[in-house]
Structure 1
Amino acid sequence: MELKQLQTFRAVATELSFTRAAEVLAYAQSSVTAQIQGLEQQFGVPLFNRLGKRVAITEEGKRLLFYAERMLQLADEAQLAVRGDDEPSGTLRIGAPESLFTYRLPPILREFRSRCPKVELHFKPDFYPGHLGLRREVMQGTVDVALFFNYPRLSDTLIVEQLLQETLLLIAEPDHPLTRLETVLPGKLEGEVILLTEAGCTYRELFEQILRGANVHPATKLEFASVEAIKQCVMAGMGIGFLPEIAVRAEISSGRMTALRWSGEELSVVTHLAWHKDKWISPALRVFLELVKQLSAFEHQ
């Protein structure tokens, strides 16, 4: 088994097409087919199901893909480490929830690109309840570094650093009756329409816990996969939203939505930065970690 075969296997698994994988790798399609057949003969199992022109990865292929990703990443790290080139290069894989990707990371990434123009960035959004998917990927090495809300416990596998506290807001369109109240306690949300992120989202869980503790029952909960969708629906007068302050700062400043004057339990989460304790800190990763910590400290001031 050669690294070239694993690179080809990863390309086919990503594209789910021998033709597109050949185009991406600039190989003849016959070469791609031969390399995959060689791996299948070596392992004695099919790695892909060929369904006419369609390709589907098998369960055995999925297991191999996990190890192929790790082996190729280690090969890249070894090349960088042995070469001794301090100029950042290679690939950096970053994971984070949508709200952090959209509202926290852009200035960090802009500065990173100016310092590390040779580094290729891969972004991994978080779609799993409680960030379980990202935690698993950091522990397995398929993501180099990740940002989380409210990391719940210490880990023997990960290095986790606290960055800053994120304020959460209840928001409504400016003419909503609750915007006229001097204080909004949980009971005022009884019978209201609440617009929430998907189940398992850290700050949604916090908010629902507060509502349960106050025995408050909204009339309806509308669930969205997108922060932007919640914002647009709030501004359209569909209900009350619950989002990080950083995500709605511009809309509040422009008067397109209003933050309710919440007087219940504190609404906040803490952003954490995490990477594997045994991971080699490449020049690219070192720059990224430094920038995240510097800009987070500046925001905290």
Structure 2
Amino acid sequence: MEIRQLKTFWTLASTCSFSRTAEVLNYVPSTVTMQIKALEEELGVKLLDRWGKSVVLTDAGHQLLPYANKILNDVEEARYVSSQSEELTGTVIIGADEVLCTYRLPALLRLFRERYPHVRLLFRPLSSDNLKQSLREGNVDVVFMLDEPVISTDLHAELLMDEPFLMVVSPDHSLATRSTLGIEDFNREQIILSEKGCSYRTFFYRTLLRKGADSLTELEFNSAEAIKQCAMVGLGIALLPEMAIKGEMERGELIALPWDLSEIRFTTQMLWHQEKWISPSMRAFIESARNVLK
């Protein structure tokens, strides 16, 4: 078993694409295929399956991944200790949910690329349910979550900034001009929400029901942008973080409803595994996030 084979396998597990892996490692695609085949033959197991143009790990692949991640981390640490190179290199794999990927991370990624051009960044969009598990399985180095403050025994969670939420409607919605609202005003209204499993959707919905709302109609999307667009054309009431609708609010394309959402305290937070060695490139990325997302 060679280090380069494990690196190819680990990169392929991160990108889920042979062509992307070849691009990242500066290989031709046939080299990626050859190295994975050699690793599978040596281990006597199938590590991955192809589904169209995508790649998914088998059970054996999932079992190998944390060991490959640990070996590669140890190798990177040994190389750093031996060389003490002044120029940062290496790879940092980042995960985040769709909202933060769209509205918070672009500025951070751009700044980091400008400062550390020789560090390779790999981004993995993940659902809220999969972010912490991806850290525990070693699939990512750092994740960003929009959630209630995370308390964990094995993950380090750092709060970066509070994210206020608003209930918004189009300017011509029947509730748009109201100065006050009661819970009965939500009855028979269509509520545009994120997918099931999203923590702030669950919290918000339970809050409305606890206060006595009934006959709510749900329209569900897995994209904050889709929710925003539906609200703008008058399809219902949307719950969104303020960062996602700031421009539309300023232009008068969305109107905030006078409803107290102070119970909802969600934050942008950065997490990594407490047992993971923090490489110089990963440390630089964490510091950049602290400076940008505040």
Correspondence for 1:108: 108
Q: Does 1:169 align with 2:170?
A: no
RMSD after superposition? 3.1
Residues 17-75 of structure 1, C-alpha deviation per residue, up to 9 Å, x if partnerless? 6x99778763584x666644543343333445699x99875432343244334433443
Counterpart Cα distance in 2 of 1:288 and 1:32: 28
Q: Is the 8 A contact 1:195 1:240 kept in 2?
A: yes
2:180 counterpart letter in structure 1: T
Q: Does 1:269 align with 2:243?
A: no
Residues 162-200 of structure 1, C-alpha deviation per residue, up to 9 Å, x if partnerless? 222110010110111111111223332111001111111
Counterpart Cα distance in 2 of 1:8 and 1:153: 33
Residues 65-123 of structure 1, C-alpha deviation per residue, up to 9 Å, x if partnerless? 44334433443343234321243221111122211121122222222222111111111
Correspondence for 1:211: 208
* Alpha-carbon shift at residue 10 of structure 1 (Å): 4.7
Q: Is the 8 A contact 1:108 1:291 kept in 2?
A: yes
The alignment-based identity, stated in percent, is 41
| SS of 2:185 mapped into structure 1 | helix
Q: Does 1:279 align with 2:276?
A: yes
| Alignment of structure 1 residues 240-255 onto 2, 5 Å | 240-255=237-252
Q: Is the 8 A contact 1:150 1:202 kept in 2?
A: yes
Correspondence for 1:85: 85
Correspondence for 1:68: 68
Correspondence for 2:27: 26
Query: Cα distance 1:37–1:97, how it changes in 2: closer, same or farther (>3 A)?
Result: closer
**Of residues 122, 132, 135 in structure 1, which corresponds to 2:132?**
135
Q: Is the 8 A contact 1:235 1:256 kept in 2?
A: yes
| TM-score normalized by the length of structure 1 | 0.83
Structure 2, gaps ≥5 residues long: none
Correspondence for 2:254: 257
Residues 226-251 of structure 1, C-alpha deviation per residue, up to 9 Å, x if partnerless? 11111111111111111100000000
Q: Is the 8 A contact 1:164 1:270 kept in 2?
A: yes
Counterpart Cα distance in 1 of 2:54 and 2:104: 39
Correspondence for 2:43: 43
Residues 239-277 of structure 1, C-alpha deviation per residue, up to 9 Å, x if partnerless? 111110000000010111111111365343122222222
Counterpart Cα distance in 1 of 2:108 and 2:56: 37
Q: Is the 8 A contact 1:194 1:218 kept in 2?
A: no
